[in-house]
A and B are shown apart, each in its own frame.
Chain A
Amino acid sequence: MGNFIKTNQNPLKYVRIKVADHSHIYLRDKQRCQRECENKPCTYFCPTRVYSWSGEDREIKVAYQRCVECGACPWGCPYDNISWSFPPGGYGVHYEL
């Protein structure tokens, strides 16, 4: 998974995520991303790159393990195609100092 910036520093290195064994994110209609969505903004507004376009499979891949629960994607998707819920209790992003 590529990162956003030149240094290739990975923001997830500094975030603790307890990954659940099943995804809390799914696409309602995978074909729709290819068919209707030109810009695929999920691939750039998601701060931790959960979403990436796979040219090979012609679909958006969802890496739920990278999700920091910012809540942007279900509203950011122009086609209301992202179904998002919280990971199970005690899982997901964890901030502690």
Chain B
Amino acid sequence: MGNDRYDVIIVGAGPAGSSAAQLCAENNLSVALIEKGEFPGSKNMFGGAIYSETTATIVPTFWEEAPLERPITEEKIWFMEPNSVVEVGFTGYDFAKSPYNSFTVIRSRFDRWFADKAVQKGAHLLTSTLVENLVYEKLGLTGKKVSGVRLEDGSEIYSEVVILAEGGWANLAEKAGLRDNINSKMLTIYIKELLALPQGVIEARFNLEKNEGCSIGMVSYPTAGAIGKGGIWTNRDTISLAVGGFLDQFNQKGLNIYQLLYRLKGHPKVKRLIEGAETVQYMYHQIPRGSYDNIPRLYDDGILVTGDAANLISGRHGTEIAMLSGMYAAETVIHAKAKGDFSKKTLAAYGNKLENTFFVDNMKVRKKSKIFYQKHTDSDFLISQLANEVAKVFFTEGFRTEQENINNMLKEVENIQPLSKTLSDLYQAVWHWRVL
């Protein structure tokens, strides 16, 4: 394997790496795509859904060939208290047909297929291969430029440029001096359980047809007071149940995500959905929750950083942004190849491309929300409590006049916290609800 030379080496065959590999290979660059797992996707985990519009940017009409679970037609949010739930949702039957909106997928299947698209276009895929370090060459008198990677067996592979798509751990980005050390305030960890049920049972319990799926975001109860979220996604014959949140919060409150998941499975609203299901797999993963302020330096001489490794995550958009950042990195590299210059001056185009995207714009707007949540860790909890208390009074029948009912509701509102704080929480919640 040693001493090969490629135009581009891509570290990590997840959504960012495989997007970049496809585009580079398509444009006749020689590509090495290096994956530490036995196959692409074998170490990857996420909540549950990919978005159609983005994925189609990389592979048009991908739904005709990709291993997908279900198109999502029902999106719900549950504000959960121990014995009640306020549900907000949208059902769109148009989402069950082309061009769709989003699909639930299983990463070990989808990522494998997605990387295979790159292989079909000519990229060399190396699996079970861990990159240990970057290799440099001299640039000018005092500078240096990344010129390849060193593998764990000590062999080296050389290239004009390296694209890091190594995931949130981002060891190489850190070694390259591009990324500061992260801390537990910026890191969320998630657990997911895959639960198997017959297709027909899933469809009956979630009120779905054969080619429809459901995604549920769960607020408050799942994280027992820590900032985080829970989620349910319906796959073809399994259900994904996930919960997680900020690591520093779990530390302070002495929480463990495995226990949180177990607790969530006992909630009456969840329990009946998964009754009799057989556990197939537990999965664990970190998601860096950087904001605009902690996007690392995205490029240097001979190197670019994409996806989770670059903290490019905004709300529920992780996989999607990974794919797009891989695409922009590839465009930049293709241009650099044509120019014959892989210095940071040329690669700066990547930074400019990202700066103009919708997701970096969103990250700028949302950097305030993260601060809000860190300051008011209880806001999800309070909103959920409020919604449930008020709804309960509203729906409880009895011998009361309407005016008495309204008074009771107002009393519930004031019992929780001052009205002004509630209004501010509600405003923030609507503004930021997709942040975490």
Contacts and interface: CB of A to CB of B under 8 A. Distances in A.
Interface of A: 4-5, 11-12, 14-15, 39, 41, 44-45, 47-48, 68-72, 75-76, 78, 85-86, 88-90, 92-97
B173 interface: no
B101 interface: no
Which of A41, A93, A95: most chain B Cβ within 10 A? A95
A18 B298 CA distance: 34
Given A71-B285, A95-B281, A97-B280, 6 more contacts: A4-B258, A11-B258, A70-B284, A70-B285, A71-B187, A95-B42
B128 A72 contact: no
A45 B251 contact: yes
Contact of A4 (B109, B151, B262): B262
Nearest to B251: A41
B282 interface: yes
Contacts, number: 114
A45 B147 CA distance: 39
Given A70-B189, A72-B189, A72-B286, A94 B280 contact: no
A76 B254 CA distance: 12
Contacts of B151: 89
Interface of B: 36-38, 41-45, 106-109, 127-130, 151-152, 168-169, 171, 182-184, 187, 189, 191, 193-194, 238, 247, 250-251, 254-259, 262, 279-286
9 contacts: A45-B247, A47-B258, A70-B286, A85-B171, A86-B130, A86-B169, A89-B130, A94-B42, A97-B281
B280 A68 contact: no
A89 B284 CA distance: 19
A47 B247 contact: no
B128 A95 contact: no
A90 B43 contact: no
A5 B282 CA distance: 15
Given A15-B282, A48-B284, A78 B256 contact: no
A76 B182 CA distance: 10
Given A11-B258, A14-B281, A95-B108, A90 B38 contact: yes
A69 B184 CA distance: 16
A89 B258 contact: no
B44 A47 contact: no
Nearest to A70: B284
Q: Mostly helix, strand, loop or mixed at chain A's interface?
A: loop
Contacts of B238: 97
Contact of B256 (A4, A15, A39): A4
Contact of B191 (A41, A47, A86): A47
Contacts of B43: 69, 92-95
A89 B37 CA distance: 6
A95 B171 contact: no
Nearest first, the 6 A-B pairs at minimum CB distance are A90-B128, A89-B130, A71-B286, A70-B284, A41-B251, A89-B128
B13 to A, nearest CB: 12
B130 A88 contact: yes
A89 to B, nearest CB: 4
Contact of A94 (B38, B152, B259, B285): B38
Contacts of B194: 97
Contacts of B250: 45, 76
Nearest to B248: A76
A95 B45 contact: yes
Given A71-B169, A71-B189, A71-B285, A95 B254 contact: no
B247 A89 contact: no
B2 to A, nearest CB: 15
A66 to B, nearest CB: 11
